Amino acid sequence: MDTPDGSTFVTHLECSMTGQHYPADRLHNLSDAGKPLLVRYDLPAIAAAVDRDELATREPDLWRYREFLPVRPENIVSLGETMTPLIELDNTSKRLGGGTIIAKDEGRLPTGSFKARGLVMAVSMAKQLGVTSIAMPTNGNAGAALAAYGSRAGIETFVFCPADTPEINVREIALQGAHTYRVNGLIDTCGRIVGEGKEATGWFDVSTLKEPYRIEGKKTMGLELVEQLGWEVPDVIFYPTGGGTGLIGMWKAFAELEAVGWLGQQRPRMVAVQAEGCAPMVRAYEAGAEHADRWEDAHTVAAGIRVPAAVGDFLILRAVRESGGFAIAVSDASIDQARTEVAADDGLLLCPEGAATFAAYKQSLADGRISTDDRAVLFNCGSGLKYPMPDQADTVDANEPVDYAALLAAARG
Ligand SMILES: *Cc1c(COP(=O)(O)O)cnc(C)c1O
């Protein structure tokens, strides 16, 4: 146990590459091998301390999994991290021949994206470990979540965004209290600026997978999904993959659930979804490689998955392969089309990254990698309202009599 009062079940941290152990009660970035650190728990003690049926009596937020989390209760910095609903896309499914398609709608979380799961944990742990200043590179949503939780915790934050980050993201980050900068480069360039500034500024670097706790937050997606499905996994999960925190986190969640006896050996096939304009994991998956080379000239409408190089590449590829899943790239045109279809058919407004998972679902169904017998979960990782939408409205002149017959005829095509 890392804490004298025994209020968490953390035992130590472990290098995801070499297995080397590190003490849990101090600040870490990457391991000595330059790889992500994973948090390890006394899982037998968790199994003895709590029963899965007990969870039903707890608040419907991610702190219901507190035994599997590293934060001591007094350090929790919360904005209400609600459980997110599973929404069956019934009409969409009917049109596609009847498979079960479930969207997990992460847009309901604070700051409108699942980045809240990771950052609530990273910032709470930063508070626990005495950090007073934090910096990160972001494509938008992570910066917004960092800014919000940082302000709430009274921790100073510095956020660096690629200059073409959607305006709404840059503005929400600044409005929520971060010192916010546009950078003429991509996210890895922003990451370099954060890393190189550490010594001069003393800020703590919470870049994706460069500190151990964002994975723990994202892990709750896996815990929550399995609980919501009645302690079962779906057949296949389509995950929009940038840095891969969520995919890695969910894979870890399933292993921990099995270790405490709440889940059997079954696993969903994990599908890493990327955009054709930035698909380093797909290229590495298809080449049978363990690591992914940097993707040059990355571009896609789905900014959240525009990540040319991921420090956890080998963990993403391992989870995909061990699960019997695959990696798949979709075009920007198919992302736009997918977003339009699900919004019109099922009334769920996806973010572009979420739409990418539906585009990938359709593509996988068409090429036979999955079938309508598979129960599929798609991750809609952010609120669709944060992203540009096409203008499809017509006009009515209020100063003229309205010709309702003509209006109906035109509306119904
Ligand atoms: C960050 C982000 C992703 C990618 O998530 P990772 O777990 O880092 O791969 C996908 N979609 C949106 C909207 C995001 O903000």
Residues 56-95: pLDDT tens digits? Answer: 999 999 999 999 999 999 999 999 999 999 999 999 999 9
Q: What would the pLDDT profile of 38-53 be if each residue is shown by its tens digit?
A: 999 999 999 999 999 9
pLDDT for residue 413: 86
According to DSSP, the residues that pair with 12 across neighbouring strands are 40
Pocket test for ligand 1, best of 84, 106, 111, 115 (most atoms within 8 A of CB): 115
Q: Which residue has the higher pLDDT, 25 or 335?
A: 335
Q: Using the mean position of ligand 1's atoms as its centre, give its distance from the Cα of residue 279 in Å.
A: 14
Question: Which pLDDT belongs to residue 392?
Answer: 87
Kindly give the distance from the C-alpha atom of residue 214 to the centroid of ligand 1, in angstroms, as a whole number: 12
> Would the CATH topology of 10-76+113-211 be identical to that of 86-109+214-386?
yes
Structural contact between residues 356 and 273, judged by C-beta atoms closer than 8 angstroms: yes
Which of 177, 175, 176, 188 has its CA nearest to residue 139?
Answer: 188
What number does the ligand 1 atom closest to the CA of 240 have? 10
Nearest partner of 24 among 43, 7, 40, judged by Cα: 40
Residue nearest to atom 5 of ligand 1 (CA): 242
For residue 160, report the distance from its CA to the centre of ligand 1, in Å: 16
Q: Name which residue sits closest to atom 6 of ligand 1, judged by CA.
A: 244
Answer whether 207's CB lies under 8 Å from 196's CB: no
| CATH class of the structural domain 86-109+214-386 | alpha beta
- The pLDDT value given to residue 2: 44
Residue 367's pLDDT band (boundaries 50, 70, 90)?
Answer: very high
Both tokens of 175, joined, read: 């409005």
Helix or strand run (H / E) with residue 12: strand 10-15
Contact call for residues 364 and 271 (beta carbons, < 8 A): yes
Q: Which residue has its alpha carbon closest to ligand 1 atom 11?
A: 304
Question: What is the pLDDT of the chain when averaged over all its residues?
Answer: 96
Q: CA dist 131 to 39, 142, 145, 254, Å?
A: 19, 18, 17, 31
Shortest-distance atom of ligand 1 to CA 140: 15
Q: Is 347 exposed, middle or buried (0-12, 13-18, 19+ CB in 10 A)?
A: exposed
Strand partners, 240: 273
Residues 167-200 have pLDDT tens digits of 999 999 999 999 999 999 989 899 999 999 999 9
* CA-to-CA dists, residue 356 to 61, 62, 208, 321, 409, angstroms: 27, 26, 21, 21, 34
Query: Quick one: CA torsion of 19, 22, 23, 26, rounded to 10 degrees?
Result: -130
**Which atom in ligand 1 lies closest to the alpha carbon of residue 241?**
9
Assess whether pLDDT exceeds 60 at residue 5: no
Which residue's alpha carbon is at the smallest distance from atom 3 of ligand 1?
A: 304
Ligand 1 pocket test target in 84, 106, 139, 141 with most atoms within 8 Å of CB: 141
User: What does pTM read for this prediction?
Assistant: 0.96
Rounded to the nearest angstrom, the distance between the alpha carbon of 353 and the centre of ligand 1 is: 7
pLDDT for 4: 44
Compute, in angstroms, the gap from residue 381 CA to the centroid of ligand 1: 7
Distance, in Å, from the CA atom of 413 to the CA atom of 396, rounded to the nearest integer, reads 17
The number of the ligand 1 atom at minimal distance from the alpha carbon of 249 is: 7
113 CA → ligand 1 middle, Å: 9
Share of the chain above pLDDT 70, in %: 99
Helix (H), strand (E) at residue 272: strand 269-275
10-76+113-211 placed in CATH 3.40.50.1100: yes
Residues with CB under 6 A from ligand 1: 113, 115, 141-142, 208, 240-246, 304-305, 351, 353, 381-382
Locate the domains of the chain by residue range.
10-76+113-211, 86-109+214-386
Dist CA 335 CA 349 (whole Å): 13
Residue nearest to atom 10 of ligand 1 (CA): 304
Q: How far is it, in rounded angstroms, from Cα 204 to Cα 288?
A: 35
pLDDT band at 3 (very low <50, low <70, confident <90, very high): very low
pLDDT surpasses 70 at 258: yes
